[in-house]
Amino acid sequence: MRLKYFVLLLIIFIPFQLQAQSIPLNGLSIRLVPKDAKTDKVAPKNINILSSRLGYRVMWYSLVKELQEQTMYPTYRINANRGVIEINNFELKTSFFHPSLWGNGYIRSETALPLWIDPEYLALKGRQKRTLNIGLLNGNKHLIKQAPDSLFDQVNFFQSLYDQYVQGGVVKEEVNLRKSVRKSLKKFTKEFFLVHKVAKTKAELFVGDKKTKLDAVIIGNAYFNLVVIDDPLNPLVIHFKIFDNKVPTVFKQIFKRFKKHFEFRVTQLKY
């Protein structure tokens, strides 16, 4: 009887393990493409993941085509950007280190995950909510300072703009606002940092040279969504989307820029 029980456990457990480890981290290469590949602020990133003594090492490079000013004809310069981000684990992390904010050189990230979210987000049920900071507001100042200048300026501008209207998570009473704007600001301050499981989905991308549909989960709120591989051992964010039409009117212009420079999609995984 015990032998039969043990065999049954193996039958159930082994396929689960194979499925959970179907996309191992060590040696994984990732192709990450921004929504607007024509911009001179961001460019596709080629990323390699390796195990390290401290946890995992994310090595990346990109070639950014920058328009040169003060020239008679449109002239571009190609800048090669590259860096290394080191993390220890996925657990107990409630912040996302957005790829558009990665800076050149070595960065040790203790509080934010550069490509993943904590596996606990995959286990959210119904309208159950959990805090998630995507780095655009009240982010880790040390990490944001590493960002390319133009994107650092955008995030810094939004933080200053937000602080004009909000203090301690509460919309300032002394600020003169229309009733509808004040209401939308209150909703924004309450919900921007809270996410829930929106839906389960299938995400299509290349695994190696084969187009594949992977089980995925949409995590987000009214203002942004992340599509994440439904794998607790590799909860990789493969799509990031911003809903600029949902934010308060006072933030719409900066969120249009965010949409252009921060939306991305992972198009290929390989070894």
pLDDT in tens, 210-242: 999 999 999 999 999 999 999 999 999 999 999
Q: Does residue 9 belong to any structural domain of this protein?
A: no
Share of the chain above pLDDT 70, in %: 88
Say how many domains are in the chain: 1
Q: Does residue 43 belong to any structural domain of this protein?
A: yes
Local confidence band at 39 (pLDDT 50, 70, 90 cut-offs)? low
Residue 11 reports pLDDT greater than 50: no
Quote the CA–CA distance of 107 and 84 in Å, as a whole number: 6
Quote the CA–CA distance of 96 and 118 in Å, as a whole number: 9
Residue 171 reports pLDDT greater than 90: yes
* 82 compared with 72, residue with greater pLDDT: 82
Residue 29 reports pLDDT greater than 90: yes
Local confidence band at 20 (pLDDT 50, 70, 90 cut-offs)? very low
Residue 193 reports pLDDT greater than 90: yes
Looking at residue 23, its pLDDT comes to 86
Q: Does residue 13 belong to any structural domain of this protein?
A: no
* 187 compared with 63, residue with greater pLDDT: 187
SS3 call for 67:
strand
Q: Does residue 1 belong to any structural domain of this protein?
A: no
Q: Does residue 145 belong to any structural domain of this protein?
A: yes
For the ranges 70-74, 125-129, 216-220, which has the lowest average pLDDT? 70-74
Quote the CA–CA distance of 263 and 169 in Å, as a whole number: 26
- Selection from 75-79, 89-93, 141-145, 250-254 with the highest mean pLDDT: 250-254
> What is the rounded average pLDDT of the residues 77-86?
91
Q: Does residue 44 belong to any structural domain of this protein?
A: yes
Two tokens at 79?
């800048």
Residue 75 reports pLDDT greater than 90: no
Q: Does residue 204 belong to any structural domain of this protein?
A: yes
Q: What does the radius of gyration of the chain's CA atoms come to, in whole angstroms?
A: 21
Local confidence band at 206 (pLDDT 50, 70, 90 cut-offs)? very high
Residue 159 reports pLDDT greater than 70: yes
Which residues constitute the domain of residue 188? 19-270
Local confidence band at 126 (pLDDT 50, 70, 90 cut-offs)? confident
Q: Does residue 120 belong to any structural domain of this protein?
A: yes
- Please, which residues have CB within 8 angstroms of residue 181's CB and are 6 or more apart in sequence? 248, 249, 250
